[in-house]
């Protein structure tokens, strides 16, 4: 995990970059188009046969069901300026 801040506005967050592929789930940073909340989400693998695979992840901040998109690790969700990571990795 790293701290990120936006070079264009005051938006900041804590996240990891990239998707971790698991057998049943992939874990990816996703950002919500409704509330700009960014968090790590487990995305069920559709091929795994899990019942949860039929449901898409829901925003942890505002519970929006269709606002989440996978974050590219660069773009500020608020103002589209590039974000920078600061400091060292944070253990969570």
CA dihedral of residues 55, 59, 65, 67 (deg, nearest 10): -120
The stretch among 12-20, 22-30, 43-51, 53-61 that binds Zn ion (CB under 5 A) is: 53-61
Which tokens belong to 24?
């049943």
Residue position matching structure tokens 């590219």:
72
Residue 7 CB, nearest approach to Zn ion (Å): 7
Residue 27 CB, nearest approach to Zn ion (Å): 18
What span, in angstroms and rounded, lies between the C-alpha atoms of 14 and 48? 29
Residue 46 CB, nearest approach to Zn ion (Å): 23
The stretch among 19-27, 38-46, 47-55, 57-65 that binds Zn ion (CB under 5 A) is: 57-65
């Amino acid at each position: 995990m790293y701290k990120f801040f936006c070079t264009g506005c005051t938006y900041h967050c804590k996240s990891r970059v990239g998707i971790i592929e698991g057998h049943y789930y992939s874990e990816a940073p996703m950002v919500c188009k409704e509330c700009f909340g960014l968090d790590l989400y487990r995305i069920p693998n559709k091929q795994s046969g899990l019942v949860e695979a039929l449901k898409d992840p829901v925003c942890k901040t505002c519970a929006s069901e269709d606002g989440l998109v996978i974050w590219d690790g660069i773009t500020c969700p608020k103002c589209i300026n590039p974000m920078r990571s600061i400091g060292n990795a944070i253990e969570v």
